[in-house]
Amino acid sequence: MALVLDEHPHRRYNPLTREWILVSPHRAKRPWQGQTETPPRDDRPIYDPTCYLCPGNIRANGQHNPQYESTYVFDNDFPALLPDIPSDDYQPNPLLRAQSERGLARVVCFTPRHDLTLAEMDTPTIRHVVDAWVEQYADIGQRPFIGYVQVFENRGAMMGASNPHPHGQIWASEHLPQQVALEDDTQREYWQQHGVSLLSDYLAQEQALGERIVYQNDSFMVLVPFWAVWPFETMLISKRHISAMADLSDDERNGLADALRNVTVRYDNLFSVSFPYSMGFHPRPVSQGEWSHWHLHAHFYPPLLRSATVRKFMVGYELLGTPQRDITPEQAAQRLREQSDVHYRAKR
């Protein structure tokens, strides 16, 4: 008997990380008696005098933000990584191993408007954020001790964001972060074996099948990857095989802004809530090296499962064994694809 992906329990392989994930499609039909609730109101003002990210306000360390009018970047006042530390190893024994990790951290305020999110910003405004990210890669990437620049956004209290003002972060480190090192290895191996990038071949497959595509324009495809772990996890993949943010053409920067708007609006519309997520970009490392196997992409990892408050937990079997999901990536993609590209709050 043949394996039917929307019926039989199975595991799926993630070729970017060499990890497996368990899919239990038969369970998505089980009755649910959890709560349903009306979405929370969001009455944030355009400017909040108590917000440490709004223009003109005082931050926690006493510094003043300028009266910024577009995207604004500053050095994180509480950085997880520091540039000026001794470069050293600690290894009294092979089982006790540590390495110094030099780096830096910055905060990116997407817009002066306290009341917006990426989902509610228009494409030209998101384009300013894209331009700021490209500038940051150039600026941070030229520092000799930096190996990788990780741009990311934690959106919403559920994902640990400390402030609703639309902002993201940049952490840059000497070594490749864990996920990046895995993706570097698999993309390099694929490139060496096939002479084409792993994600170019993957895009061609998804384009032909269509069932996991959420949205696409000339420059980017948004899809729920075949191996998605989070219920509504997506990837944004550059249609052209480019490796760095600096490789984006003018049109592609607009295409990226448009794709970001489209995926975040659909997320918000799904449960009529400002959809929480962690997202971030995976371009090539910035250190010297052969990186042509890298294919620029972004990941969105949203925790919500069933409603504005019912989230997926990574617990039990998933912590001790393997991540698992019920709703299939194909079902998730269909639900996101069906959402309007007009924000639910704009329609009121």
Would you tell me which residues interact with Zn ion (CB under 5 A)? Answer: 48, 51, 53-54, 114, 165
For the four alpha carbons of 126, 132, 135 and 141, in that order, the dihedral sign comes to: negative
Residue tagged active-site, from 114, 165, 167, 293: 167
Q: Does 60 bind ligand H2U (CB under 6 A)?
A: yes
Q: Is 128 a catalytic residue?
A: no
- Minimum gap (Å) between residue 331 Cβ and ligand H2U: 30
Binding part of the chain for ligand H2U, among 111-119, 161-169, 240-248, 337-345 by CB under 6 A, reads 161-169
Under rule CB under 6 A, residue 20 binds ligand H2U: no
Per DSSP, the three-state class of 64 is strand
Helix-helix angle 178-194:198-209, to 10 degrees:
80
Per DSSP, the chain holds a count of helices (H) and strands (E) of 6, 14
> Does the protein bind ligand H2U through residue 59 (CB under 6 A)?
yes
Nearer to Zn ion, 47 or 145 (CB): 47
Least spacing, CB of residue 251 vs ligand H2U, in Å = 31
For 113, the 3-state DSSP assignment is: coil
Nearest-angstrom CA–CA distance, 245 and 136: 10
**Segment contacting ligand H2U (CB under 6 A): 75-83, 176-184, 262-270, 319-327?**
75-83
* Residue of 99, 100, 162, 340 that binds ligand H2U (CB under 6 A): 162
Q: Are 280 and 183 in contact (CB under 8 A)?
A: no
Contacting residues for 279 by C-beta, under 8 A, at least 6 apart: 152, 153, 155, 298, 299, 300, 301
Contact (Cβ atoms closer than 8 angstroms) between residue 37 and residue 43: no
Judged by CB under 6 A, the stretch of 154-162, 182-190, 249-257, 310-318 that binds ligand H2U is 154-162
Within 10 angstroms of residue 336's Cβ, the number of other Cβ atoms is: 23
Label residue 220 exposed, middle or buried (CB < 10 Å: 0-12, 13-18, 19+): buried
**Half-sphere exposure (CA, 13 Å, Cβ side) for 146?**
23
Q: Tell me: does residue 56 bind ligand H2U (CB under 6 A).
A: no
Closest approach, Cβ 44 to ligand H2U, in A, equals 14
Q: Which is nearer to ligand H2U, 170 or 248 (CB)?
A: 170
Minimum CB distance to ligand H2U, residue 171 (Å): 9
Residues 62-83 as b or e (16 or more Cβ within 10 Å = b)? eeebeebeebbbeeeeebebee
Partner from ligand H2U, Zn ion, none contacting 78, C-beta within 5 to 8 A by type:
ligand H2U
Taking the complex as a whole, the smallest distance from the CB of residue 128 to Zn ion amounts, in Å, to: 17
Q: Which CB atom, from 244 or from 304, has the smaller least distance to ligand H2U? A: 304
Is 90 one of the binding residues for ligand H2U (CB under 6 A)? no
Question: Would you say 227 or 275 has its CB closer to ligand H2U?
Answer: 275
Q: How many residues bind ligand H2U (CB under 6 A)?
A: 13
Give the shortest CB-343-to-Zn ion separation in angstroms: 19
Of 301, 40, 55, the closest CA to residue 165 belongs to 55
We find the least distance from the C-beta atom of residue 104 to ligand H2U, in angstroms, to be: 12
- Residue 54 contact, options ligand H2U, Zn ion, none, Cβ 5-8 Å cut-off depending on partner type: Zn ion
163 binds ligand H2U (CB under 6 A): yes
Nearby residues of 16 by Cβ (< 8 Å), 6 or more positions away: 182, 183, 186, 187, 198, 227
Interface with ligand H2U, residue 76, by CB under 6 A: yes
DSSP 203-261: HHHHHHH-TTEEEE-SSEEEE--TT--STT-EEEEESS---SGGG--HHHHHHHHHHHH
By CB under 6 A, tell whether 150 contacts ligand H2U. no
What is the set of active-site residues? 167
Question: In the complex, which residues of this chain contact ligand H2U (CB under 6 A)?
Answer: 52, 59-61, 76-78, 107, 154, 161-163, 169
